[in-house]
Amino acid sequence: QLVLTQSPSASASLGASVKLTCSLSSGHSDYAIAWHQQQPEKGPRYLMKVNSDGSHSKGDGIPDRLSGSSSGAERYLTISSLQSEDEADYYCQTWGTDIQVFGGGTKLTVL
């Protein structure tokens, strides 16, 4: 079964960096995923697609301080030079034949 696992919460200081993790279930380590950001009281926003080889492609207007990477069944979103507006929920998403799967989301707090 295709499942994505995320830590419920993360925190980091203003101006620092943080690395969020999305884990693919066993047998699905070659799947690509997408990262989405949801700021408080707003709809989700597409950030980037991350492939199994670590390459990534960003959505329109996504700044360079956001990047993606991979290692095995793990997919990462790294945010550097943290700003207050980065405080949000972050969801990973993947897909199978005619289905979409979301991780449970990580709530990022900027201290």
Partner 1 sequence: QVQLVESGGGVVQPGRSLRLSCAASGFTFSSYGMHWVRQAPGKGLEWVAVIWYDGSRKNVVDSVKGRFTISRDNSKNTLSLQMNSLRAEDTAVYYCARVKGTATGQIDYWGQGTLVTVSS
Residues that bind partner 1 (CB under 8 A): 32-34, 36, 38, 43-46, 49, 59, 89, 91, 93, 95-105
Nearer to partner 1, 8 or 13 (CB): 8
User: Pairing relation of β-strands 88-96 and 33-38?
Assistant: antiparallel
Q: Which is nearer to partner 1, 75 or 82 (CB)?
A: 75
Residue 53 DSSP symbol:
T
Which of 29/38 has CB closer to partner 1? 38
- Write out the E strands in 2-103: 4-6, 9-12, 18-24, 33-38, 45-50, 56-58, 66-71, 74-79, 88-96, 99-102
Q: Taking the complex as a whole, how short is the minimal distance between the CB of residue 7 and partner 1, in angstroms? A: 13
Map tokens 């070659």 to a residue. Answer: 30
CB of 21 to partner 1, least distance (A): 16
